[in-house]
């Protein structure tokens, strides 16, 4: 889970938007991937933090963006429904800013008709519709009118479907404040505005408009939203059936299985945790902690695996360096737990502490808060993933392969030189897996072309929008080609990757590695404890689904914490694959993949069918073969 993404995503999209798609005219230009859409720039001459309060700047930018959105929809046949949804969601947001409530309601009705995920369809635009209904009341009575209208929309919703969505909405509402919004907006966008003299892309323009929408139309009513959601969730406080406990299959060690090397390609592991220490893969030719490359393989002290820094330099530290916030580790762990508890609607001491802290957080402290908790999220990510991957398997041997993720609100500038260095490191890592007989590699991470382009823009790099687009493609392709080729050239390894948490089509948005088509790879999406598709899980190339909701596992230091995301779903498939190989070591990755998918249970989601893993069924098939 990436707390940074979770917090900032709300500031951009906060559920006041909608989508609609009309029939495509025959003469429209077909758009097969996101990168083929045109780029636009706009001029903003006010400070980012002051933008929401400057009506002239807001309405000028809104009108310009609206014109371009409508022009694209007129000119292009966009083959990805999610992208069409985003276009109309943004038009709905602008309609709200323009106080064109009929347009907003029309768009919102159509988004709910098009939404694939039932929970999101049922909860789309609730606050926006309640806000519009409240405008008929006298000004002094609008708070109560909003609450009544919002309750009328929320109360009939089926709890078993919308519970996770409404719990998350309540949690984000409790955390949100104008100071937090202003602080994050200023920290992320003002440095870029300063560098570009106010010239911004459409994505940045939409961020500013979305922030304005939140400040103007949501924050004044957030207490009413929270009250209604609290009442609804309390009234339906029942535990949904957990389908996963009945599907678990633990090995005892008496099955006569063989050791299986599983690589956790992630942010590193705390190898001192008792639950992990006894199942670590060990390089017997390396002497620990002597700062030498004893076996001559190019890695120093690679006793339990390998590690690379943010700039792809080799290091012997196999746990993500928490660095300048190390002294605050206990505080950050409590804040992380509080964040998770708030999102999941759990009332805890940590959640109360975090809500109290955020309520009084000055704008200038928003950046260090978000970056600190993001850094801790990276720090605990690999350990949490590993704990899930090893559960119930005494035959597993965990190899560490540490990547280093950035945590800053403004990422480092991508360069061709660094991309080539990263690619060389990727090839080295994959070769290390193969040389040391790794059978399964878990990859709970990913990136996209749009992410590279955005990072270039945030650093005012790459030239004009078209030049930046071209440079982003070059940088992106260097990494993609190296990773895909390395994975394809090691067919003896099964790669298991998370789909992503962006609720997008990974193919259309060119998300990697989950957008790859490889025989020796499984892409995993996330469902909740009852097997319902989560609102965050990406799609478009997903082979199967596993639980990615409040999954309990280790964090550095040995405590356990529930986290959510496709990062938590992926290692459950890795876990199953390793158990299969422990019993049947001669199976190939494609045969293991086939067994996992054959053991899945089909679940109907609207007009789609998804596959839920069933470890018990799959392992029974393995034992009987």
Quick: pLDDT tens for 511-537: 999 999 999 999 999 999 989 898 889
Q: Cα angle at 599 between 598 and 600, to 5 degrees?
A: 95
* Residue 67 included in any domain: yes
pLDDT band at 625 (very low <50, low <70, confident <90, very high): confident
CA distance 88 to 13: 12
Q: Is residue 443 within 8 Å of residue 385, measured between CB atoms?
A: no
pLDDT band at 292 (very low <50, low <70, confident <90, very high): very high
* Residue 364 included in any domain: no
212 plus 260 within the same structural domain: no
9 plus 55 within the same structural domain: yes
Q: How far is CA 478 from CA 267, 424, 426, 486, in A?
A: 22, 10, 11, 12
pLDDT tens figures, 224-264: 999 999 999 999 987 778 999 999 999 999 999 999 999 99
Quick one: three-class SS letters along 176-187?
Answer: CCHHHHHHHHHH
Supply the pLDDT for residue 345.
60
Supply the pLDDT for residue 336.
85
433 plus 284 within the same structural domain: yes
* Residue 351 included in any domain: no
- Strands, DSSP E only, in 390-437? 396-402
pLDDT band at 455 (very low <50, low <70, confident <90, very high): very high
Is pLDDT above 50 for 183?
yes
Structural domain harbouring 131: 3-235
Sign of CA dihedral 199, 202, 206, 209: positive
Supply the pLDDT for residue 144.
97
Segment 469-493 mean pLDDT: 98
* Residue 330 included in any domain: no
260 plus 198 within the same structural domain: no
118 plus 157 within the same structural domain: yes
Segment 279-287 mean pLDDT: 96
138 plus 45 within the same structural domain: yes
Alpha helix positions (H), 137-236: 142-154, 159-175, 178-196, 202-213, 222-235
166 plus 310 within the same structural domain: no
* Residue 328 included in any domain: no
- Averaged pLDDT score across all residues of the chain: 91
Is pLDDT above 80 for 45?
yes
Task: Kindly report which listed range (106-120, 125-139, 461-475, 565-579) carries the lowest average pLDDT score.
Answer: 106-120
Single residue among 204, 235, 266 that ends a domain in this structure? 235
Supply the pLDDT for residue 6.
40
pLDDT band at 7 (very low <50, low <70, confident <90, very high): very low
pLDDT band at 26 (very low <50, low <70, confident <90, very high): low
CA distance 624 to 257: 14
Task: Kindly report which listed range (340-354, 397-411, 484-498, 600-614) carries the lowest average pLDDT score.
Answer: 340-354
* Residue 367 included in any domain: no
Query: How large a percentage of the chain has pLDDT more than 70?
Result: 95
Domain with 427 in it: what CATH number?
Answer: 3.40.50.200
Would you call 294 helix, strand, or coil by DSSP?
coil
Would you call 261 helix, strand, or coil by DSSP?
strand
Residue 450 neighbours by CB under 8 Å, 6+ apart: 34, 35, 509, 510
191 plus 283 within the same structural domain: no
pTM, two decimals, is 0.92
208 plus 249 within the same structural domain: no
Supply the pLDDT for residue 154.
98
Buried residues in 611-623 as b, exposed as e (16+ CB within 10 A): bbbbbebbbeebe
* Residue 71 included in any domain: yes
Is pLDDT above 90 for 344?
no
Please report which helix (H) or strand (E) contains residue 43, including its range.
strand 41-43
Residue 478 neighbours by CB under 8 Å, 6+ apart: 416, 419, 420, 422, 423
Q: What is the number of H-type helices and E-type strands within the chain?
A: 21, 18
CA distance 515 to 287: 40
Q: Is residue 397 within 8 Å of residue 279, measured between CB atoms?
A: yes
404 plus 513 within the same structural domain: yes
CA distance 442 to 397: 13
Q: How far is CA 322 from CA 269, 291, 446, 561, in A?
A: 12, 21, 21, 18
Supply the pLDDT for residue 5.
38
492 plus 417 within the same structural domain: yes
CA distance 448 to 509: 7
Q: How far is CA 275 from the centre of its chain?
A: 27
Q: Is residue 546 within 8 Å of residue 601, measured between CB atoms?
A: no
pLDDT band at 326 (very low <50, low <70, confident <90, very high): low
CA distance 461 to 512: 23
pLDDT tens figures, 88-145: 999 999 999 999 999 999 988 888 888 888 899 999 999 999 999 999 999 999 999 9
Supply the pLDDT for residue 9.
41
Single residue among 202, 235, 268 that ends a domain in this structure? 235
124 plus 250 within the same structural domain: no
* Residue 94 included in any domain: yes
Single residue among 235, 254, 280 that ends a domain in this structure? 235
Counted domains in the chain: 2
Among 220, 164, 199, residue whose Cα is nearest residue 537: 164
């Amino acid at each position: 889970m990436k707390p940074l993404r979770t917090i900032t995503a709300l500031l951009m999209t906060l559920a006041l938007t909608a989508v609609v798609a009309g029939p495509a005219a025959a003469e429209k230009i077909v758009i097969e991937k996101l990168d083929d859409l045109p780029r636009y720039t706009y001029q903003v001459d006010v400070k980012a933090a002051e933008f929401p309060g400057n009506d002239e700047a807001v309405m000028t930018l809104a009108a310009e963006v609206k014109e371009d959105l409508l022009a694209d929809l007129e000119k292009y046949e966009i083959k990805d429904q999610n992208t069409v949804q985003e276009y109309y969601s943004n038009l709905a947001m602008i309609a709200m800013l323009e106080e064109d409530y009929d347009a907003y309601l029309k768009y919102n009705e159509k988004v709910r008709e098009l939404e694939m995920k039932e929970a999101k369809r049922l909860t789309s635009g609730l606050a926006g519709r309640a806000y519009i209904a409240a405008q008929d009341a006298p000004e002094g009575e609008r708070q109560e009118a909003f609450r009544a209208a919002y309750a009328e929309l929320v109360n009939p919703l089926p709890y078993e479907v919308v519970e996770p969505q409404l719990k998350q909405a309540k949690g984000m509402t409790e955390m949100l404040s104008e100071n937090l919004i202003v602080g994050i907006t200023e920290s992320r966008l003002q440095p870029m505005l300063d560098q570009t003299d106010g010239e911004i892309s459409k994505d940045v323009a939409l961020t500013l408009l979305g922030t304005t929408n939140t400040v103007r139309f949501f924050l004044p009513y957030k207490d009413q939203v929270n009250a209604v959601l609290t009442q609804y969730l309390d009234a339906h406080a029942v535990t949904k059936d957990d389908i996963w406990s009945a599907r678990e299959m633990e090995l005892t060690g008496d099955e006569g299985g063989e050791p299986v090397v599983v690589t956790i390609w992630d942010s590193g592991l705390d190898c001192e945790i008792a639950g992990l220490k006894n199942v670590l893969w060990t390089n017997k030719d390396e002497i620990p902690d002597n700062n030498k490359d004893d076996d001559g393989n190019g890695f120093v002290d690679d006793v339990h695996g390998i590690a690379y820094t943010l700039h792809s330099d080799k290091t012997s530290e196999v746990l993500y360096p928490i660095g300048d916030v190390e002294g605050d580790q206990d505080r950050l762990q409590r804040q992380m737990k509080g964040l998770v508890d708030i999102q999941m609607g759990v009332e805890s001491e940590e959640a109360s502490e975090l809500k109290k802290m955020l309520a009084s957080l000055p704008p200038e402290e928003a950046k260090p808060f978000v970056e600190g908790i993001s850094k801790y999220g990276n720090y605990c990510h690999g350990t949490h993933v590993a704990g899930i991957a090893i559960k119930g398997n005494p035959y597993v041997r965990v190899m560490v392969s540490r990547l280093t993720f950035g945590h800053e609100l403004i990422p480092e500038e991508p360069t061709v030189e660094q991309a080539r260095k990263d690619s060389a490191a990727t090839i080295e890592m994959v070769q290390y897996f193969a040389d040391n007989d790794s059978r399964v590699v878990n990859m709970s991470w990913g990136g996209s072309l749009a992410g590279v382009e955005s990072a270039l823009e945030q650093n005012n790099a790459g030239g004009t929008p078209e030049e930046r687009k071209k440079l982003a493609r070059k940088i992106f392709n260097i990494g993609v080609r190296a990773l895909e080729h390395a994975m394809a050239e090691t067919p003896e390894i099964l790669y298991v990757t998370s789909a992503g948490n962006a609720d997008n089509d990974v193919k259309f948005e060119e998300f990697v590695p989950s957008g790859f088509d490889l025989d020796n790879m499984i892409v995993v999406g996330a469902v909740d404890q009852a097997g319902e598709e989560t609102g965050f899980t990406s799609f478009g190339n997903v082979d199967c689904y596993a639980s990615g909701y409040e999954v309990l596992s280790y964090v550095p230091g040995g405590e356990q914490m529930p986290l959510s995301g496709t990062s938590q779903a992926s290692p459950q498939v890795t876990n199953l694959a390793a158990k299969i190989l422990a019993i049947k070591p001669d199976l190939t990755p494609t045969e293991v993949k086939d067994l996992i998918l054959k053991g899945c249970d089909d679940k109907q989601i609207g007009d789609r069918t998804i596959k839920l893993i069933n470890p018990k069924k799959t392992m029974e098939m393995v034992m009987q073969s």
